[in-house]
Amino acid sequence: MDHRIHQVPQHALQYPSQARQKQHVTSRNFKDVLAGEQQPLKISKHATQRLTERNIHIGDRQWQKIGEKMQQAKLKGVTDSLVVMNNAALLVNTKNNTVVTAMDLKEATSRIFTNINGTILIDE
């Protein structure tokens, strides 16, 4: 009789006590995860120039909301997004948390947006 038939695989015997232990998992809600991972929103030099040239004013509360929505989009796999607001449209890169460019809505209606894989609508 072959002796290999009676051998027990080593991997089954290496850590038998750990296999029986329950892993302790801490539960966190989505908002906590989002808050912990939120990185500061950056505005590129080009976007800053466009905001100034086109007289687009975005308040602190709106910037905060844009940042939150960008994080949510990032969790869904969106890398480049169009953010549409009441007074402006922004092209953002969620991977780098950067606003790439900005335009007012009049200008945005006549444009075709390419190389985006998500859209964020913000009403305020």
Q: In what order do the strands lie in the sheet with 42-43?
A: 42-43, 98-104, 88-93, 80-84, 118-121
Question: How many structural domains compose the chain?
Answer: 1
What span, in angstroms and rounded, lies between the C-alpha atoms of 47 and 35? 25
Residue 110: per-residue pLDDT: 78
pTM for the structure as a whole: 0.67
Is 100 within 8 Å of 50 (Cβ atoms)?
no
Look at residue 4 and tell me if it is in a domain. no
* Within a domain: 3: no
Share above pLDDT 90 across residues of the chain, in percent, rounded to a whole number: 54
Per the structure, the complete domain to which residue 87 belongs is given by 12-121
The percentage of residues in the chain with a pLDDT greater than 70, rounded to a whole number, is 69
User: What is residue 68's predicted lDDT score, i.e. its pLDDT?
Assistant: 92
Q: What is the pLDDT of residue 24?
A: 47
**Complete DSSP assignment for 61-77:** HHHHHHHHHHHHHHHTT
